[in-house]
Chains A and B, each alone.
Chain A
């Protein structure tokens, strides 16, 4: 799977949930395990519907933040997607 050019999709059994104090988790209902997210990742997660590749997600983030995204954002996104793929929480459609 190519995370750079592919369009990641959230796997169907995965539920995005807000817990106490705004903490967010992804819950894989097939195995009953939760995976905690950092404060930035929910923005990425909402775009994982198979229509956006990594570049478009970063572009959307840049737009949301009026151009002020940290230099580390591409690396952050790459790590995030690789981690989710390893955990079976996403697949790449194209």
Chain B
């Protein structure tokens, strides 16, 4: 796979601070949790380099990006440097004034708010008291001002039975066109609180049943790139291929789940360039010291991750002999690192055979 001249997009943790401490947060206690926030001037200098490299978009996250007092100046720097932006936020700090400002830039691709349930019982359980009302207020401010607002719903033990009501709230009451789902997964604080928040195999199976029913009820309005809904889509394809007598699927049989390193790079809040916000233990260099283009084109760690897609699954003991070998892509490298300490192996959380062996079932 060819690599473009420069990254199209850069994911930037502009702060390592947050006003919440969600019990499954992937960020806190990860390698990205540096406790260091670069000053505005450093980000503005970096944005100029991004423009020279023809980066088209930055995704601002953290921590909670809106916690920065100079958030507006950060956005103004992005806009001045001819880029578009997305924001990943818990939504609790978004007021009317900020929403109006973001809209006025005309450069916002999306403003994502995390909403985990239809009310405080399911949302606040992992995110903290009072956070549901504030997040909903933030979402409504975004919509009121015409921002392209999206919602990410993270599925965990305490909202699994509230998915129907959450979908009703978001799609019917709030009036979102769509939202996406994910799952509390073994990274960051979730590692410490795994038994409290992570779904068991049985719960994962139940989530798939609920999400499939919701997809039927709201066609095309609930999406996922990870978690039960994404697993269901992939695992159904694998089953169908075998049922149709096909031994393989395109782009399968290798570690090819992630194409991120071919289009995107990331920067931690301390200015360390990393391949991805989820692979923030792999330090590639420092912004404003090491040239972005040089890192992107030639850094051996990035090359190593790009070569991952040429690793056949049959190389791995765990996969050898698996009937799904040629219909599988091996899952997310960051999850592989989090679970087994090696991003260049298949991720156990994506293993369909293991899921079945542990009693998991796809919806009938």
Residues of chain A whose beta carbon lies under 8 Å from any beta carbon of chain B: 12-21, 27, 29-30, 32
Q: Is the CB of B56 within 8 A of A17?
A: yes
- Number of residue pairs spanning A and B whose beta carbons lie under 8 angstroms apart: 36
6 pairs, A vs B, C-beta closer than 8 Å:
A17-B8, A20-B1, A20-B2, A29-B83, A29-B107, A32-B109
Q: Identify which of A13, A18, A21 contacts B82 (C-beta below 8 A).
A: A13
At the interface, is chain A mostly helix, strand, loop or mixed? mixed
For residue B152, CB closer than 8 A to chain A, the reply is no
The 9 closest A-B pairs by CB, nearest first: A18-B5, A17-B54, A20-B2, A29-B82, A19-B4, A20-B4, A21-B2, A15-B82, A27-B56
**Residue numbers in B under 8 Å from A19 (CB-CB):** 4-5
**Residue numbers in A under 8 Å from B283 (CB-CB):** none
Tell me the bound Cα distance from A15 to B2 in angstroms.
Answer: 21
Q: Identify which of A12, A13, A20, A30 contacts B3 (C-beta below 8 A).
A: A20
List residues of B (78-112) whose CB comes within 8 Å of A's CBs: 82-84, 106-107, 109
At the interface, is chain B mostly helix, strand, loop or mixed? loop
Q: Is the CB of B4 within 8 A of A29?
A: no
Q: Is the CB of A12 within 8 A of B82?
A: yes
Q: Is the CB of B84 within 8 A of A16?
A: no
**Residue numbers in A under 8 Å from B109 (CB-CB):** 32
Q: Nearest chain A CB to B85's CB is how many angstroms away?
A: 10
Are A15 and B56 CB-contacts (below 8 A) given A20-B3, A20-B4, A29-B83? yes
**Residue numbers in A under 8 Å from B51 (CB-CB):** 15
Tell me the bound Cα distance from A1 to B4 in angstroms.
Answer: 35
Q: Is the CB of A17 within 8 A of B5?
A: yes
Q: Is the CB of A30 within 8 A of B107?
A: yes
**Residue numbers in B under 8 Å from A17 (CB-CB):** 4-6, 8, 54, 56
Are A32 and B84 CB-contacts (below 8 A) given A18-B4, A20-B3? yes
Q: Identify which of B1, B2, B6, B84 contacts A29 (C-beta below 8 A).
A: B84
**Residue numbers in B under 8 Å from A30 (CB-CB):** 106-107
List residues of B (1-27) whose CB comes within 8 Å of A's CBs: 1-6, 8
| Chain B residue, CB-CB nearest to A30 | B106
| Of listed A16, A20, A29, residue having the most chain B CB within 10 A | A29
Tell me the bound Cα distance from A14 to B56 in angstroms.
Answer: 10
Tell me the bound Cα distance from A15 to B106 in angstroms.
Answer: 16
**Residue numbers in B under 8 Å from A21 (CB-CB):** 2
Q: Mark B253-273, 1 if CB is under 8 A from A, else 0.
A: 000000000000000000000
**Residue numbers in A under 8 Å from B84 (CB-CB):** 29, 32
**Residue numbers in B under 8 Å from A14 (CB-CB):** 82
